[in-house]
Structure 1
């Protein structure tokens, strides 16, 4: 129970709920203000103008907030007015809806930034259909002015609100990244347990992908204008989180080999407890940030990890134990210790015990932030038949056209626009997302109809309903990303109550039943049209695989360059961070595409086993190179000439393997051989690191070859028998 309450509190204190509350307050101010000044009908229309600007209203950097909101307001107004003008001409209205839907859905070419704009444009047209002409006693110009007034007021309010809440958003996104990381830590800790079935690598990769998305959102905010000490401290904490992710990934190295030895079970179980304990500490720090408190000081767990090494040393005389396995276990213990060290630094920064030193890279941090300008390139390059945004736009236009024609034939055609609303929110670019929305939308609509029917049956006064709509809108906006079922319930309440405000004569019970019927029809249409001109994930897999291979090759080149150890500025370090980010992002995109393809028909699925193997090896290569970089930093004050050639040859070999180029002849052998024999490797954290660096490079080159084999198998044409990567 305590854990559930804690999780519920984290949700309530999250940026999603904060933006939802902000949106609800803005809608309340707009609708109530216009109601007090002009009356019920103008307030309802102004509320529609505000509602269409809410979908793109999220926690964003200050400099790009206005640009993210303007397209919804500027594009929504002419479409709203056009629908009003054609309200009594069903044929011409349909001829407007279909092409307008096509061009609206082309905004999906901008990815996650474009989807809210699609929703806004479609809502502007559909909600315009909801305004009965017999209640519009004023001119079309007056209605347009009310709509524009609501949009303009909300855009100004949302921009100001985002600026005022900027500091809070920075804290929330950092805390949410830490909570996502702690979940990944617990999953990784379970893999240390030798007595239970370990979590699948697929679960780890999905959590890695979720963390990558969360970290990008955090970068966009925390790395914007880090001029004050507080902002610099939060940015430094984000960098610590990034380092923790690397060390956590590196903790996977040699784990399977060590687990194969029964005599290592005690140490692995102890390390699992340590990682779980560290994850709890991360959760506590995140909770303290969300609640505006200073985190409690942490206890260094390095002594506990050192005790594990002593236990291994004392048991070294047991039969079957070898020094090489002891040193491997010691290396694993040290990598867990690196996580501990980063968490300690994170805690000291959060407490203000140390000052961040970020001046050297502050001016270059803009490279890690998502662009805020609306470039025309995504639109210019999609005019081809196989482009997914193009096919989705055609699919959506056909679905909306079908839904509109069907709404005209229904006996309750007055509210046929509800069918169109359902199609817009359910139909997605992939089948898996459409199916997920389908189930949540039906369940949420039924629950929302019951709730809205209860509200409207009380015959509440107009002013109270104008308060209920913003509250429901706040809930809907808060959970649109995290829990769509709740959003569907709240959105249904908004739709029914708003329709009642616009008409004032409908019978609530019939509206609820009608809403359920329209939802079922709309869901059915969206589901059916998800199979029309489908963009199956396998058509996107080749480009994603190629992006992954190029990103891995680039990261290897930069990570194995000694320039970051000798440079007088931070350019090499910045270059490595950018390459690392692209490597993680490319893997994340491939993980998400692979996951979406599972819901597709078996005949069109890509080769999932090969893709999962490629992803697993991709994360392993990142872990190997991260460990090499860590060891190079450990001996940065020593001469590096003894490993320079090996680093150069390994980088060239990995690059040529992943990019299918001609591999150069190595000037020295990478494989040191015999590493399992006693005495080959000394303690890597006391004596010579060179043998360990060479071993990691050798393993990295081998993993690169397996990645290439996985990619070749995954990209085989459909219909060919799948070849095992190990046999290629």
Structure 2
């Protein structure tokens, strides 16, 4: 379950704060306008505030200002154009199609542009109601702009005042995701959980963790921290160091399971890692409450029992001895993780300014840059662009939705059908399918709850209280449980009608029918000009391989002590993990598509897991060399690393580097250095997994090629028929 859905953490999450801020702003502006004007004016202002609030997302202040300003200006222009064209039916239809297409093209700029697309469609639907004179259209546009600008000013002031609080909450969310990631690691020691399934969970959680860590970077590390933000920066860096340690704990789980399956040592290791996950969560919990975290988890009994078990192990021979060495290495790494968590607790307790707050390199390259170029938009105005086809799909679907409303027995809320289409029809079939189910179920529940409320409650003040709760709940659950948002949106619309038009009848039934019609239309058009995930797979696989090669090169340079710092290594790793997360997300979406549109799912899953393991091996190698730095035989270690990286590059299809022909010193045993055996074992695992990446890549190519041939044969058969 998402941490923000748990009662213990919900009220302190940034999701709840965002919902409360939005509801207060919208309702406050509406009441203020109503106090000095009439109800229609207040409703027009509230619509502008409501539309602008949809752009009120956790972002750096400068980004938030740009995003909300773009929303206010674009949506005010849309409201004005639609209102001016409303007296002329053919012109109105033309404007609707044009606005829908252009708004949908906005998704070419990524996920952060999707709210702007919906907001533009939302205000377009609300402005199609009644024909207006030019003067009325100008007044409507001005009131919409006033509401949007007023809400924007309110939101910017509130976020500026509470920006430290927001940073705390976003940092805590990254820590919660790290705790979940660590908890999945604990399952690798549980014999009841299949190891391949745990690896798949780790890859999926890695994607979520990377996204939350990026959000934390963007807020916590951007700009010069104020004195009271020093601790947040320090905890953030401690979190990144801890993540590297947790990543490095990957070991030969299969070997451990084979030799220690029936003993107490694996459950003990699982308990230790599980406690570490709870310990990380306690830091996140304290961070959301603006408190220093105290280490309440006690590892003493488990560590003492583990130490005793290690001392009681009988001398091993051959593979048994190797399994014991792997076990001891795993215990050492888990101990390092426990120490790092203690350091993170200490970082949260340090007085302001007592700890260093800046890394040795500029964090700017790690931060998200806001770039919206018209060139990107124009480059996608072509038939082969998935965004272009999506924009055409939405324009056609909404046009059909608006026409269908003319055939219904009522017309006062016909825009609900088109609004449902805008909510449900998304760029991918997977997202459309999920939104469709959530919208249907959420609307049905919302209508039922509203019917009960309106039947038993008639006092406007009480109804207004329910409206406030619904207004707050909508944005609160938007990104964590959309079904709840659908419930809140239906209640918000119906309660607003109940307050402004108390004797309206049949509104709830109309809402249900409009939602059903809109969902059917959206479902039909999800198959029109579709963009199936398998069409992008070759490009995504190539991007992962290219990023992987660059990451291997950066890791080789770091481990061979060539660069002065680890900046290039961290940048390369981030890019590699971003590409791997994109492929993993595409695979997850493809599995939600029809069975005949799925290509090589098993091969892709194996490919993502094996690539993830390469990152874990690199992190482990780095920490291994740090652990055994004393008396390190530099020449022999460099030769072993050089030879191994040459083989890894060859497996990944990279061009061998000039030093790849260095003698393979890894075959010579260095008895006097205790790190030699674990180094050899880790290098062997690295080579094996790199070879598996290559095999998986080839298997994906074969599977996709076979699917293309079958598809071509099917098309030929259809033409002949």
User: Please, what TM-score do these two structures have when normalized by structure 2?
Assistant: 0.91
Residue 311 in structure 1 maps to residue 320 in structure 2: no
Q: Which moved more, 1:258-267 or 1:278-287?
A: 258-267
1:690 shift after superposition: 3.4
- Distance in 2 separating the partners of 1:254 and 1:345: 27
Deviations 1:543-579 (A, max 9, x none): 21112112221221112224795766xxx32222211
Residue 615 (structure 1) aligns with: 608
Residue 676 (structure 1) aligns with: none
Residue 706 (structure 2) aligns with: 720
**Residues 451 and 508, structure 2, Cα contact 8 Å, conserved in 1:** yes
1:706 shift after superposition: 1.8
**Residues 565 and 633, structure 1, Cα contact 8 Å, conserved in 2:** no
**Residues 42 and 146, structure 1, Cα contact 8 Å, conserved in 2:** yes
Task: Summarize the alignment of residues 677-696 of structure 1 with structure 2, pairs less than 5 Å apart.
Answer: 687-696=673-682
**Residues 453 and 509, structure 1, Cα contact 8 Å, conserved in 2:** no
1:145 shift after superposition: 1.6
Closer/same/farther in 2, CA of residues 263 and 636 from structure 1, 3 Å limit: same
Residue 8 (structure 1) aligns with: 7
- Distance in 2 separating the partners of 1:182 and 1:104: 38
Deviations 1:19-55 (A, max 9, x none): 1111111112211111111111111000111111122
- Distance in 1 separating the partners of 2:657 and 2:633: 28
* Residue of structure 1 aligned with 2:636, choices 639, 642, 662: 642
**Residues 292 and 349, structure 2, Cα contact 8 Å, conserved in 1:** yes
Task: Summarize the alignment of residues 636-715 of structure 1 with structure 2, pairs less than 5 Å apart.
Answer: 636=629, 638=632, 640-661=634-655, 666-669=661-664, 672=667, 687-715=673-701
- Distance in 1 separating the partners of 2:674 and 2:167: 43
1:711 shift after superposition: 1.7
Q: Which moved more, 1:93-102 or 1:689-698?
A: 689-698
**Residues 545 and 590, structure 1, Cα contact 8 Å, conserved in 2:** yes
Residue 76 (structure 2) aligns with: 77
Residue 548 (structure 2) aligns with: 552
- Distance in 1 separating the partners of 2:258 and 2:707: 33
Higher relative contact order (CA 8 A, sep 6+): 1
- Please report the RMSD computed on the Cα atoms of aligned residues, expressed in angstroms: 3.0
Closer/same/farther in 2, CA of residues 497 and 85 from structure 1, 3 Å limit: farther
Q: Which moved more, 1:174-183 or 1:187-196?
A: 187-196
1:229 shift after superposition: 4.1
Residue 145 (structure 1) aligns with: 142
Deviations 1:246-305 (A, max 9, x none): 332332321111111146732111111111111111222221222233322356748854
1:5 shift after superposition: 11
Residue 246 (structure 2) aligns with: 248
Q: Which moved more, 1:140-149 or 1:268-277?
A: 140-149
**Please, which runs of 5 or more residues in structure 2 have no aligned partner?**
709-721
Closer/same/farther in 2, CA of residues 411 and 86 from structure 1, 3 Å limit: farther
**Residues 250 and 617, structure 2, Cα contact 8 Å, conserved in 1:** no
Q: Which moved more, 1:586-595 or 1:314-323?
A: 314-323
Residue 220 (structure 1) aligns with: 218
Residue 714 (structure 2) aligns with: none
Residue 174 in structure 1 maps to residue 171 in structure 2: yes
* Residue of structure 2 aligned with 1:235, choices 233, 236, 241: 233
1:317 shift after superposition: 4.1
**Residues 561 and 648, structure 1, Cα contact 8 Å, conserved in 2:** no
Residue 183 (structure 1) aligns with: 180
- Distance in 1 separating the partners of 2:83 and 2:662: 75
Q: Which moved more, 1:415-424 or 1:551-560?
A: 551-560
1:339 shift after superposition: 1.6
1:154 shift after superposition: 0.9
1:641 shift after superposition: 2.8
Closer/same/farther in 2, CA of residues 263 and 151 from structure 1, 3 Å limit: closer
Residue 41 (structure 1) aligns with: 40
Residue 624 (structure 1) aligns with: 617
1:468 shift after superposition: 5.0
**Residues 3 and 176, structure 2, Cα contact 8 Å, conserved in 1:** no
Residue 535 (structure 2) aligns with: 539
- Secondary structure, counterpart of 2:52 in structure 1: coil
* Residue of structure 1 aligned with 2:267, choices 261, 266, 269: 269
Closer/same/farther in 2, CA of residues 251 and 459 from structure 1, 3 Å limit: closer
* Residue of structure 2 aligned with 1:293, choices 291, 303, 321: 291
User: Please, what TM-score do these two structures have when normalized by structure 1?
Assistant: 0.90
Closer/same/farther in 2, CA of residues 380 and 334 from structure 1, 3 Å limit: farther
**Residues 443 and 490, structure 2, Cα contact 8 Å, conserved in 1:** yes
Task: Summarize the alignment of residues 41-440 of structure 1 with structure 2, pairs less than 5 Å apart.
Answer: 41-130=40-129, 132=130, 139-198=136-195, 199-262=197-260, 265-298=263-296, 301=299, 304-305=302-303, 308-317=306-315, 322-352=320-350, 355-361=354-360, 364-440=362-438
Q: Which moved more, 1:62-71 or 1:695-704?
A: 695-704
Deviations 1:628-652 (A, max 9, x none): 1112223456563332233334334
